[in-house]
Amino acid sequence: MVSIETQINDIVQRVLTQLEQAPPSSNGGSPRYRGIFSTIDSAMAAVELAQRRYYRVSIAQRKAIIQAIRNVSIDQAQEMAQMVVAETGMGRVADKVLKHLLVAEKTPGPEFLNPDAYVGDDGLMIEECAPFGTILAITPVTNPTATIINNTISMLSAGNTVFFAPHPNAIKSSIAMIDLINDAIVTAGGPDNLVVSLDTASIELVDQLMKHPKIALLSVTGGTGVVDVALQSGKRAIGAAAGNPPVLVDDTADPEKAARDIVAGHSFDNNMPCTSEKEVVMTEGIADRLLEAFTHANALVLDPKLLSSLEAVVLNDRRSGPNRKFIGQNACVILKEIGIQADEELRTIVVEVDKDHPFARHELMMPVLAVIRVPDFEAAVDLAVELEEGLHHSAIIHSANIYHMSEFGKAINTTLFVKNAPSYAGLGFGGEGYTSFTIAGRTGEGMTTCRTFTRFRRCSLVGAFSSV
Ligand code: NAD
């Protein structure tokens, strides 16, 4: 029987070979990939030309282009998910497929750009959403291709073009995704190179791009450090930075449902989404029942005697964050390091710790879930707010008390607030509403959409206009 790993490697090899054998591009860019260039100057010249052409594309054609991007993203979801996992060595293929489908289907398109109109004695005024031009979109290793799809749909729907700066550890998959997107756009009759990138990735290149005079706007999806750099660049930046989403479980919650939902959200793609449950604050009245319920929900509750062994594996040397080697790994891979055998179906390792433990304080991005016991609801709110650290990112509550939900929501003040569901419901997955993979809690735009990537422009016509 061939192992899943071997099957995945075979598929990745096949896709890479197919891409390498793809016909040469006629756009002066990479001989193999549409939209990929070896210098900033050549990429910028191509995207500038594409932007000039895109200004003349009709709304109907813009919609057809966006639909073509959705279609190719859905068609290629499985292969791209496999490629990303093989290249980055992180995450779960099945979950990444779901992420691709989610962004392809639920990222809003041009229909989201309705103008505001005012009609009166003095005529007509409309406010329209106009494009910025070329946007530099910096993307993370944790969701490389799903973020590229989401950003492309949002930014192109608004009439912009995109210069992507992917994470170096996801460069191959990112290039493959950009190639597929450009190909779909051209096949749909749109201009070539609406989306460009470079054939190498480095922090130095990103720095040059951030300061480039032809970049109109920065969109940064990543850790706190890169968002800080972007905000100091002198350009307008939309900053989607890290979070440390706490879950509050109070005495009134259903422990079995709460445990199931928390494990589902926390372990989705091995805890790499910035929105995933990162630690649980539970009130004393439910704590023991919740811990018991975790054992029925595909999680392992760690024997406290093994805590120091687990710390030695998953924390970095300074205990100031994760050991990067284990980011996005399956729970069984982590457990193996401390001598426990488990299978790939096990989703989460639950560990009871005190409130100052590094598992609770730092974003680990792996299936290790800190749980902390507090005496009552008021203490739970205070601690959850402290652990979220004012990042304004995401928080979750499990409770049957609507006053508790409201009080926690006001106190925590996060961009996403999810009640009685896995965190991903807030992304529109099993919850209402559209999706975004660039959640600008830091700079306040929230769940970014095409509207976020527009300039508001006013146009006034004075004189009798209304026929009413
Ligand atoms: P990262 O910060 O290491 O890298 C993100 C991107 O920034 C990459 O393309 C990287 O090459 C670039 N970069 C990093 N440091 C830079 C610097 N000094 N100058 C210029 N470019 C730099 O993050 P990651 O490991 O790729 O992604 C995980 C992080 O992103 C987590 O903290 C997660 O919470 C966050 N994230 C946030 C959102 C959101 O919507 N708020 C979405 C996904 C991920």
Same domain, 230 and 318: no
Classify residue 98: in a domain, yes or no: yes
Ligand 1 neighbours, Cβ below 6 Å, are 138-143, 165-168, 203, 206-207, 221-223, 225-226, 229, 240-243, 274, 363, 437-439
Report the Cα 55 to chain-centroid distance in Å: 28
User: Are 185 and 36 within one domain?
Assistant: yes
pLDDT at 7: 55
Distances (CA, A) of 394 to 274, 279, 334: 8, 12, 26
Residue 359 counted as domain residue? yes
Give the strand pairing for 439-440 and 446-447.
antiparallel
- Å from CA of 442 to ligand 1 middle: 13
DSSP, residue by residue, 229-241? HHHTSSS-EEEE-
Residue nearest to atom 16 of ligand 1 (CA): 226
- For residues 180 and 315, membership in a common domain is answered with no
Ligand 1 mean position, distance from CA 199 (Å): 19
Extract the tokens encoding 274: 């910035």
Structural domain contains residue 341: yes
Atom of ligand 1 nearest to the CA of 142: 27
Mutate to test the pocket of ligand 1, among 142, 270, 324 (most ligand atoms within 8 A of CB): 142
Domain assignment present for 150: yes
CATH code: domain of residue 71: 3.40.605.10
Which atom from ligand 1 is nearest to the alpha carbon of 207? 20
Task: Please name the residue whose Cα sits nearest to atom 11 of ligand 1.
Answer: 167
Q: Are residues 200 and 269 in the same domain?
A: no
- Quote the DSSP letter at residue 158: T
pLDDT tens-digit profile of 252-281? 999 999 999 999 999 999 999 999 999 999
Based on the fold, state whether residues 255 and 230 are members of the same structural domain.
no
Number of helices (H) and strands (E) in the chain: give both, helices first: 16, 18
Question: Do 165 and 262 fall within a single domain?
Answer: no
Q: Does one domain contain both 189 and 256?
A: no
Distance 203 CA to ligand 1 centre (A): 11
CATH number reported for the structural domain that contains residue 356 in this entry: 3.40.309.10
C-alpha 254 – ligand 1 centre gap (Å):
36
In 3D space, the residue among 363, 303, 364 whose CA is nearest the CA of residue 339 turns out to be 303
Would you give per-residue pLDDT tens digits along the chain (468 residues)?
A: 455 555 545 554 554 444 444 444 444 555 589 999 999 999 999 999 999 999 999 999 999 999 999 999 999 999 999 999 999 999 999 999 999 999 999 999 999 999 999 999 999 999 999 999 999 999 999 999 999 999 999 999 999 999 999 999 999 999 999 999 999 999 999 999 999 999 999 999 999 999 999 999 999 999 999 999 999 999 999 999 999 999 999 999 999 999 999 999 999 999 999 999 999 999 999 999 999 999 999 999 999 999 999 999 999 999 999 999 999 999 999 999 999 999 999 999 999 999 999 999 999 999 999 999 999 999 999 999 999 999 999 999 999 999 999 999 999 999 999 999 999 999 999 999 999 999 999 999 999 999 999 999 999 999 877 788
Quick one: 255 and 280 in the same domain?
Answer: yes
Measured between alpha carbons, how far is 453 from 155 in angstroms, rounded to an integer?
Answer: 6
Which residue CA neighbors atom 28 of ligand 1 most closely? 222
CA of 103 to the centre of ligand 1 (A): 19
Quick one: CA dihedral 226, 227, 232, 236, positive or negative? positive
CA of residue 109 relative to chain centroid, distance: 18
**Residue nearest to ligand 1 atom 2, measured at CA:** 223
63 plus 139 within the same structural domain: yes
How many Å lie between the centroid of ligand 1 and the Cα of residue 169?
A: 11
Domain annotation covers residue 360: yes
Ligand 1, atom 24, lies closest to the CA of: 140
Taking the centre of ligand 1 as the mean of its atom positions, its distance from the CA of residue 225, in whole angstroms, is: 8
* Closest C-alpha to ligand 1, atom 10: 167
Atom of ligand 1 nearest to the CA of 442: 41
Task: Name every residue whose Cβ is closer than 8 Å to that of residue 273 and which is 6 or more positions away in sequence.
Answer: 142, 143, 423, 424, 427
- Separation CA 388–CA 370 (nearest Å): 14
Does residue 296 sit in the same domain as residue 183? no
Residue 310 CB-half CA count within 13 A: 27
Q: Residue 468's CB: how many other CB atoms inside 10 A?
A: 4
Closest ligand 1 atom to Cα of 439: 40
> What is the domain count for the chain?
2
Which ligand 1 atom lies nearest to the CA of residue 144? 26
Q: What local confidence, expressed as pLDDT, does residue 256 receive?
A: 98
Residue 466 forms part of a structural domain: no
For residue 93, the enclosing domain spans: 28-241+448-455
- Structural domain includes residue 352: yes
Nearest ligand 1 atom to the CA of 243 is 34
DSSP-assigned letter for residue 65:
H
Does residue 398 sit in the same domain as residue 355? yes
Domain shared by 288 and 212, yes or no: no
Please check whether residue 358 lies inside any domain of the structure.
yes
